[in-house]
Chain A
């Protein structure tokens, strides 16, 4: 049973436009949700997070939205830049410290 799902394996957008990456989860006990970004031959790096008690968190060009009733979160990148091209992982964690990751979405931003 996959508790965190990213249903789109890939996404391609034009530079300057908005990128929207989606993530669904099944466990209502998750306390935090995070997005990580991964470049080839590197480990994932933390991008942005949101607590389960909030519905939006913004950091520069990156905004994460959480819809608890739908068990859905999304990452918006505005405006998208070619350097944003990477694999994006959604993760959900409990206070126990353990995170569950989605399979990732490969974002390609075309110049």
Chain B
């Protein structure tokens, strides 16, 4: 398996623009997580899904952030409109029910100017 795939790897955009981050989890995994890493806040969980259903979105900063998982092999994290304080590395991870280990993608480095 190729592991968790994220795209794009880097994104530079201007304030106010819509940003869409994509993730393909490991085949067969039924949990999917979105994290954000910043210097100030470390690695924080934004939202996670189980069997494509959002379970906990309490980490989503505000209404500008939304996440979807239309099927078991694809998820998106959207920011609209984007702001400079959204600049961070966004990680997607997946795991298998009954195991505690999460497998992370390489991350998307987002810069909002």
Contacts and interface: CB of A to CB of B under 8 A. Distances in A.
B34 interface: no
Contacts of B25: none
A46 B102 contact: yes
A97 B106 contact: no
Nearest to A42: B106
B95 A34 contact: no
Interface in B39-65: 42-45, 48, 50, 55-56
Interface of B is mostly: strand
Interface in A69-100: 89, 93, 96-100
Contacts of B102: 46, 99
Contacts of B100: 31-32, 34, 49, 93, 99
A103 interface: yes
A104 B101 contact: no
Nearest to A50: B100
Contacts, number: 53
Interface centre among A89, A97, A104 (most CB of B within 10 A): A97
Interface string A6-21: 0000000000000000
Chain B interface extent, by class: 20 to 34
Contacts of B97: 97
Chain A interface extent, by class: 20 to 34
A99 B101 CA distance: 9
B101 A49 contact: yes
Contacts of A49: 100-101
Contact of B31 (A32, A97, A104): A97
Interface of A: 31-32, 34, 36, 41-46, 49, 89, 93, 96-104
Q: When A and B form their complex, which 10 residue pairs have the shortest distance between CB atoms, in order from nearest? A: A43-B104, A103-B42, A32-B100, A101-B43, A46-B101, A44-B104, A97-B31, A93-B100, A43-B106, A43-B105
29 contacts: A34-B101, A41-B106, A41-B107, A43-B91, A43-B105, A43-B106, A43-B107, A46-B101, A49-B100, A49-B101, A89-B43, A93-B100, A96-B55, A97-B31, A97-B48, A97-B50, A97-B55, A97-B95, A97-B97, A98-B48, A98-B56, A99-B45, A99-B100, A99-B102, A100-B45, A101-B42, A101-B44, A101-B45, A103-B43
